[in-house]
Amino acid sequence: MSRPSLRAAALAAVLGALATGAGPAAAGPAKPPEPAAAGAGQAAMARTPVGEATLLVTFADRPGRAAAGRRLAGLGAAAPVLPEAGVWRLVPLRPAAARERTLRRPAVVSAEWSLARRADDRPPPPAPPSAPPAFTDGFLLSGAQWGLQPRSNWGAELTTTGPRPPIAILDSGVDPTHEEWGGPGSPLIAGRSTLRGDADASDHGLSGHGTHVAGIAAAPANGVGVVGTAPAAAGAAPVIPVQIADRAGSSTDETMIRGIRHAVLNGARVINISAGGPGYSRAFQDTILWATRRGALVVASVGNQGQDVNALNYPAAYRRVLGVGAQCDGVVTFDCLRAFGAATFSNRNRSVDVIAPGVGILSSVPRRVGERAVAPGYALKDGTSMAAPYVAGVAALVMGANRNALSPYQVAKQILNTATDTGRRGRDDASGHGIVNPRAAVTLRAPADDASEVNDDVKWLRGVTRLHSRNRPVSILATIDQQEDADDVYAVRLRKGERLRVLLRPTSGMLDLYLWGPGTRTVTTGDANMRRNLLRYRRGTRGPGAIAHRATRAGTHYVNVFARRGGGPYTLRMVRGG
């Protein structure tokens, strides 16, 4: 949860106030900055269009309606977007000065324009590289879905290991009249449009993008058409359709955030978003943390600019999101220089966690869609949009195979740990950890959980760590990662005059250690926050590090472990003395 680097004068002032136990003054306690939110200035707004003249305001806490109204009074019309995470909507009276005025209000940590996002499917190729799949008596031949063939390590038996949880598809909607999705046995539940604020989540998209994505993840095994990676079934394996995009496939941060909220509150444990765009948003990152805390894993496409700008696309690039790139089929083309390798159009950057089938993907579409149709209601599409729902389906199967008892952390780690390495050895920016391996992910034992999560900042903490008296230490074993989980925060209560000693032992990576005082609202390293609240700091080393402090006032203090480089398991020992 870092912030832009400190000015030299402010940094010197803070370091000068720190007592023995702080790290080297030259290094400084500032954390590397988060990507700047697009829309923060005119240049950024030119690169990433604002979805609408709406600010997303994120508070350091979770105020109720009355408190949020008082804090934003006089700025414009305010309404909750995700109040459970302290995210509110503000339609400013004076847009030109809105951000600066809002950031001066109490407990506001960010004010960002709601940015525009786009679906991540590819334009159709000028001519198909091979003949389209054939039909027999209205049924697709089994070989048409290459991602479900033995080479891809998927098998029908993987879908019978246990009832899987609901999958939410945030997209253009799902066609409820389609033979895969309609009728009395429809697996669709809790539909919602966050564009209009009603319950109609039918697919109004020009290309049928949402219905296609839903089919890849979860088309029912009903004897017609296609089959999803984790087939839907009424009452046992439902799909929650959430319409976040307009007919052309455009959405905004606000419609996505509202969609995530609706999905989570209606029981979704896996949320697929096959869309994105450049521009970081604190409001959206906090939404991901909230969803993770509620037990939902967000899976997102990384984008199709691998032959162009290759920029980080959000939400795939947010922490705790499983970012998916596109894998080629067996046909070598300009987009696929190596059969079954990473597609050249698939983005190559740190957001790529795994790759999955994303070229020549057959799935359901509304019957009105004719683009690359192989039969009424079924069409081919390419893109990371098609790869993400494949992985979303695998994630749901992993949960079902483990009695739906795994955390999002465990499911994501299981998918990464069992991926089939390809390309350069180890993780790389083209294929991430490798090609998703459904069989290994579903059948192998899942990793242990990181029980302290989500604890990325003060407002996410559930309680305090109870310390023993008389120098009896408390030990915490946890995991941290520079990319996916850079901050861990623990609350401890001290009486005035009590002494606290903290020892951090990392197994790998370079981890910083911070101690923040009573009244701290966030562990972001902004100038004023550090001058006011930072008590002790120890710069990361590859070995153990310690800080000690005698409380000058009673209250809750916050121990913060930060992954400056790398990460992995660590042990945190805290002891309170007289």
Residues with active-site annotation = 171, 209, 385
CB 51 within 8 A of CB 18: no
Tokens for 454?
């989500």
Cis, bond preceding 132 (omega within 30 deg of 0):
no
Looking up tokens 């696929």, which residue turns up? 336
Instruction: Supply the DSSP string of 219-249, one letter for each residue.
Output: ---SSSS---SS--BTTTB-EEEEE-S-TTS
Give the Cβ contact number of residue 448 at 10 Å: 12
Burial per residue of 121-147, b for 16 or more beta-carbon CB atoms within 10 angstroms, e otherwise: bbeeeeeeeeebbeeeeeebeeebbbb
Find the Cα–Cα–Cα–Cα dihedral 302, 305, 309, 310, rounded to 10°: 40
CB 277 within 8 A of CB 117: yes
Q: Which helix (H) or strand (E) holds 563?
A: strand 555-565
Q: Side chain identity at 242, as an amino acid letter?
A: V
Among 167, 169, 171, residue whose Cα is nearest residue 159? 167
When computed from its CA atoms, the radius of gyration of the chain, rounded to whole angstroms, is 24
Q: For every residue of 334-346, which 3-state class applies, written as one string?
A: CCCCCCCCECCCC
Residues contacting residue 386 through CB under 8 Å, at least 6 positions apart: 121, 212, 213, 216, 274, 326, 357, 358, 359, 361, 363
CA separation for the pair 210, 248 (Å, rounded): 12
